[in-house]
């Protein structure tokens, strides 16, 4: 069964790995178009994340000591390490899924796609642990943001009552949780400025890792859609190319994390914290 193209080549074949659309000269050209199209999208993504990295570099350059101190205090190097390990492994399973699709070993494609999804969910689980800790500590930028540099004394106005507090007090955070208005004023040092700088650090942290997390979730959704389509024998996924495109996207997500981990977590780590915390 074939339809002749302008070039006199067949566009349809019983083998989906050989078939190509009418406007291509040959299968190789169609494959190249897919890959170049995906890379074009990935280049826009590089610029997208690149702008955020630039913002981070600029602020790190303005307050180098302070931001690395915040990173050292509040980001868990160990959890970041585990997540890097998980994501690098998921890249391996994804590469294996693509290879299995190219070799038409369907069972293996399912296995490696599910393995990749499982690893992605593990990654998001670790991220959830990290985020919930920051949420509980009121480190999410916004009206309830609360940060006191270690040892800094502040005068807090909680529901109209003025009290002097030091870091470690949970009363202010407790009041904040219950939605009461409170304000913090510095008594000594530069508590306000360090709180502002911390808020900028956490803004960048949440935007960069949050955006990355959204990419992970979208990757999982795309993989699930492909698995469902494969299950129902959709002709759209009979070819290996959709899986290869998903693979390219997934490896890109991995690459972003490869840079995020040293930039955010390892800026100024504490060996003791890594080993025991």
Name which of residues 208 to 267 contact other proteins (CB under 8 A).
240, 244, 247-248, 251-252, 254-255, 258-259, 261-263, 266-267
Q: Based on the shown chain and the rule CB under 8 A, indicate whether residue 189 belongs to the binding site for other proteins.
A: no
From the CA atom positions of the chain, what is the Rg in Å?
25
Site for other proteins in 73-92 (CB under 8 A): 77, 81, 84-85, 88-89, 91-92
Question: Which of 166, 170, 192, 234: binder of other proteins (CB under 8 A)?
Answer: 192
Question: Which of 23, 128, 142, 224: binder of other proteins (CB under 8 A)?
Answer: 142
Q: Based on the shown chain and the rule CB under 8 A, indicate whether residue 43 belongs to the binding site for other proteins.
A: yes
Burial class for 112, CB neighbours closer than 10 Å (0-12, 13-18, 19+):
buried
Nearest to other proteins of 65, 232 (CB atom): 65
Question: Which of 94, 109, 158, 220: binder of other proteins (CB under 8 A)?
Answer: 94
Question: Which of 95, 118, 238, 264: binder of other proteins (CB under 8 A)?
Answer: 95
Nearest to other proteins of 32, 228 (CB atom): 32
Distance CA 139, CA 145 (A): 5
Backbone conformation region of residue 234, classed left if phi is above 0, alpha if psi is from -120 to 50, else beta: beta
Beta-carbon contacts of 50 under 8 Å, excluding residues fewer than 6 positions away, are none
Query: Please, which contacts does 7-14 make with residues 24 or more away whose CB atoms are closer than 8 Å?
Result: none
């Amino acid at each position: 069964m074939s339809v002749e193209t302008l070039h006199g080549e067949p566009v349809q074949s019983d083998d989906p790995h050989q078939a190509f659309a009418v406007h291509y000269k040959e299968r190789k050209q169609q494959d190249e178009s897919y890959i170049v199209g995906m890379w074009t999208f990935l280049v826009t993504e590089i610029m997208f994340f690149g702008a955020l990295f630039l913002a981070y570099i600029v602020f790190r350059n303005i307050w180098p000591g302070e931001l690395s101190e915040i990173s050292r205090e509040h980001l868990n190097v160990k959890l970041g390490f585990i997540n890097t390990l998980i994501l690098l492994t998921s890249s391996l399973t994804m590469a294996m899924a693509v290879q299995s699709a190219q070799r038409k070993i369907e069972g293996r494609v399912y296995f490696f796609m599910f393995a990749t999804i499982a690893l992605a969910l593990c990654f998001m689980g670790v991220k959830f642990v990290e985020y919930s800790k920051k949420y509980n500590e009121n480190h999410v930028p916004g009206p309830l943001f609360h940060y006191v540099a270690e040892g800094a004394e502040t005068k807090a106005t909680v529901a109209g009552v003025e009290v002097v507090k030091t870091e470690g007090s949970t009363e202010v955070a407790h009041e904040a949780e219950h939605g009461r208005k409170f304000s913090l004023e510095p008594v000594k040092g530069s508590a306000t400025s360090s709180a502002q700088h911390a808020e900028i650090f956490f803004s960048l942290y949440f935007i960069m890792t949050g955006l990355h997390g959204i990419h992970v979730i979208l990757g999982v959704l795309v993989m699930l859609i492909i698995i469902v389509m494969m299950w129902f024998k959709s002709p759209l996924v009979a070819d290996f190319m959709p899986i290869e495109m998903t693979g390219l996207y997934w490896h890109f997500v991995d690459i972003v994390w490869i840079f995020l981990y040293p930039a955010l977590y390892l800026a100024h780590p504490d060996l003791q914290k890594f080993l025991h915390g």
